[in-house]
Amino acid sequence: MNMPRTITCPYPLRAILLLAACLALPANAQDKAGAPVVVTTVQEQEVYRVLQLTGTVTSARSARLSPATSGLVSALQVDAGSRVEGGQLLLQMDDELAQLQARGAEAAVERANLALRDARRRLEEARTLAPQRSIAESVVKDIAAEVSQDEAALHEAEAEAGYRRGILQRHQLKAPFAGVISAKLTELGEWVSPGQPVLELVALDDVHLDFPVAEDYAAFIAVGAPMQFSITADPTTHHNGAVTTVVPVTDPNARTFLLRVQPTDPEQTFTPGTSVQGKLRLAAGRRAVVVPRDGIVRSPDGRIVVWTVDAADGGTVVRENVVTSGLSFDSLVEISSGLEPGARIVVRGNEALQNGQNVVIRQAGEG
């Protein structure tokens, strides 16, 4: 006869409960010890207002070039985007007639010169014969007058020749300074006249930054104030500059004035017309408690909270502080009320704290 078989459980119930308690122990122990946080001590310091500005790289020299005389464009040596040196030929006009006129003027100079030399020769001979009474004194005077007339004629011919050479030279348009051609406004075969822009030239070796600034800040900006800026197309690369000019003439419509900034790195080049983003720090004229931006917690109900740490019953607990914030600058936030200098505040681990909760202070970077 088979007897009922007794089955013995290798894991009694109490062992299972003990195992569960052991697995839950770290979380319970952590709750008892406190949530890990990183703290810092708040300080009182000078408060700054940071202006976020948008401006433009502007060349110190730019010119709309036009010819000095009228003519037909026969050659264009550059196009938009061409880099040129000072004195380089940019545009040539048809100068065939001007060359002929210049040659005619030079020939007139040569004729006047020959006539003057002949008159001087005859005058010298006449003065040699005059003491011998071989020639009348009046003839000598007539020849002397002729020499004077020939000298004047030579001067006139030389002036006309110089004028014609100048006209000929003005059939060429040369770069007044080094730079880049920003616009080509004419083409081959076009008739151009003085005052008519044919090319736009922009210098690259001397640029500055121009920012429109609200007139409210005009009184707070001083020449020499430092500025940090970046090219809009490359916002991660920061450059330094200094305010060189504050033009206190406001735009009556926009209520702005011009702020001019000079980059301080002479080796860095910037393309005129490029958009830039600038940050200008202005002293607010007061000292206040400031906290790192990470120490600010914004509640859904609109409150601004800073958590401070205090010692309690041999441990450390956090207290909720509703504060009023002011200006933000350099990753810091001004606290107008609700916090005293010297308080220790939580800057990491403050996302889900509760008032009076135990915490464990850790060093920054500690796991």
pLDDT in tens, 235-281: 999 999 999 998 876 667 778 889 999 999 888 888 898 999 999 98
CATH code, domain carrying 151: 1.10.287
**d(Cα 88, Cα 103) in Å, to the nearest integer?**
25
Q: For the chain, how big is the Rg over CA atoms in Å?
A: 44
CA angle (260, 266, 272) in 5-degree steps: 50
Q: In the prediction, which pLDDT does 33 show?
A: 65
* Domain containing residue 191: 71-92+172-200
By the 8 A CB rule, do 90 and 197 touch?
no
> Considering the domain boundaries, does residue 15 fall inside one?
no
Provide the pLDDT confidence category of residue 58 given band limits of 50, 70 and 90. Answer: very high
Same-domain check for residues 249 and 351? no
Name the range with the highest mean pLDDT among 154-163, 198-207, 298-307.
154-163
Chain center to CA of 260: 9
Domains in the chain, number: 4
Q: How are beta strands 35-41 and 359-362 bridged, if at all? A: parallel
The last residue of one of the domains, among 154, 184, 200, is: 200
Residue 26 exposed, middle or buried by CB count within 10 Å (0-12, 13-18, 19+):
exposed
Q: In the prediction, which pLDDT does 82 show?
A: 95
Considering only residues 280 and 13, tell me which one the structure prediction assigns the higher pLDDT. Answer: 280
Same-domain check for residues 293 and 357? yes
pTM for the full predicted model: 0.62
Same-domain check for residues 267 and 178? no
SS3 call for 114:
helix
> Considering the domain boundaries, does residue 17 fall inside one?
no
> Considering the domain boundaries, does residue 144 fall inside one?
yes
Same-domain check for residues 188 and 211? no
By the 8 A CB rule, do 329 and 50 touch?
yes
Same-domain check for residues 279 and 208? yes
> Considering the domain boundaries, does residue 2 fall inside one?
no
CATH code, domain carrying 229: 2.40.30.170
**Average pLDDT of the residues in 198-207:** 92
CATH code, domain carrying 82: 2.40.50.100
> Considering the domain boundaries, does residue 4 fall inside one?
no
The last residue of one of the domains, among 170, 190, 220, is: 170
**d(Cα 339, Cα 349) in Å, to the nearest integer?**
19
The last residue of one of the domains, among 151, 182, 200, is: 200
Q: Is the pLDDT of residue 69 over 60?
A: yes
> Considering the domain boundaries, does residue 183 fall inside one?
yes
pLDDT in tens, 157-186: 999 999 999 999 999 999 999 999 999 999
Same-domain check for residues 237 and 300? no
By the 8 A CB rule, do 312 and 295 touch?
no
> Considering the domain boundaries, does residue 1 fall inside one?
no
Provide the pLDDT confidence category of residue 205 given band limits of 50, 70 and 90. Answer: confident
**Average pLDDT of the residues in 148-154:** 96
Chain center to CA of 172: 34
**d(Cα 129, Cα 122) in Å, to the nearest integer?**
11
Q: Is the pLDDT of residue 367 over 90?
A: no
By the 8 A CB rule, do 345 and 293 touch?
no
Same-domain check for residues 81 and 184? yes
Same-domain check for residues 269 and 301? no
Please give the structure tokens belonging to residue 272: 């005129």
Same-domain check for residues 103 and 148? yes
Q: How are beta strands 344-348 and 332-337 bridged, if at all? A: unpaired
Same-domain check for residues 211 and 318? no
What integer best gives the mean pLDDT of the chain? Answer: 87
Q: In the prediction, which pLDDT does 247 show?
A: 84
pLDDT in tens, 98-127: 999 999 999 999 999 999 999 999 999 888
Same-domain check for residues 75 and 186? yes
> Considering the domain boundaries, does residue 3 fall inside one?
no
Same-domain check for residues 145 and 177? no
